[in-house]
Amino acid sequence: MPTYTLKINGKSHTVEADSDTPLLWILRDHIELLGTKYGCGIGQCGACTVHVNGNASRSCSLLVSQLQGMEITTIEGLSEEGDHPVQKAWIEHDVPQCGYCQSGQIMSAAVLLKNNPNPSDKDIDAAMNGNICRCGTYVRIKQAIKTASKL
């Protein structure tokens, strides 16, 4: 099996895996970063969203062999103390119900705010539409993104 060296949350990790292994399973099975969630495996639900070179990306649809040299950030690496403005706003609005999709929602929202510090409702819808929340916390997510934009 080939080996790959990935830069995740600022640290270098060498893993042995099939070349077609999605980043999602490298994170979950090989590196035990379990905050990135499996939801659909086909890039439709957003539960597995991570940052690759600063872009919100679906880790279930990126292959380990394509990622060498890229900067990968997961929910565990978004902030040291769990105090990224988006995380703080999520707690302030007590957004989660079951909570399973929320790390993906937070990773998408963090990129949105980095690129567009004052998003309109339409901007939020456009950036967040790939992240499904089955519990229906959409209204709170929108409020939390607006709060985070002021933090």
Under the rule (CB under 8 A), what is the footprint of another protein?
1, 17-18, 20-22, 25, 28-29, 32-42, 44-45, 47, 74-76, 81-82, 87, 90-91, 94, 96-103, 106, 121, 124-126, 128-129, 131-142
User: Closest approach of Cβ 120 to another protein, in Å?
Assistant: 12
Residue 115 half-sphere exposure toward CB, CA atoms < 13 A = 13
User: Closest approach of Cβ 56 to another protein, in Å?
Assistant: 14
User: Closest approach of Cβ 90 to another protein, in Å?
Assistant: 5
- Smallest Cα–Cα separation from 60: which of 40, 31, 74, 30? 40
d(CA 15, CA 25): 11
Residue 147 backbone dihedrals phi, psi, to 5 degrees: -65, -45
User: Closest approach of Cβ 62 to another protein, in Å?
Assistant: 13
Strands (E), 9-79: 11-16, 49-52, 55-58, 71-73
Between residues 2 and 54, which has the closer beta carbon with respect to another protein? 2
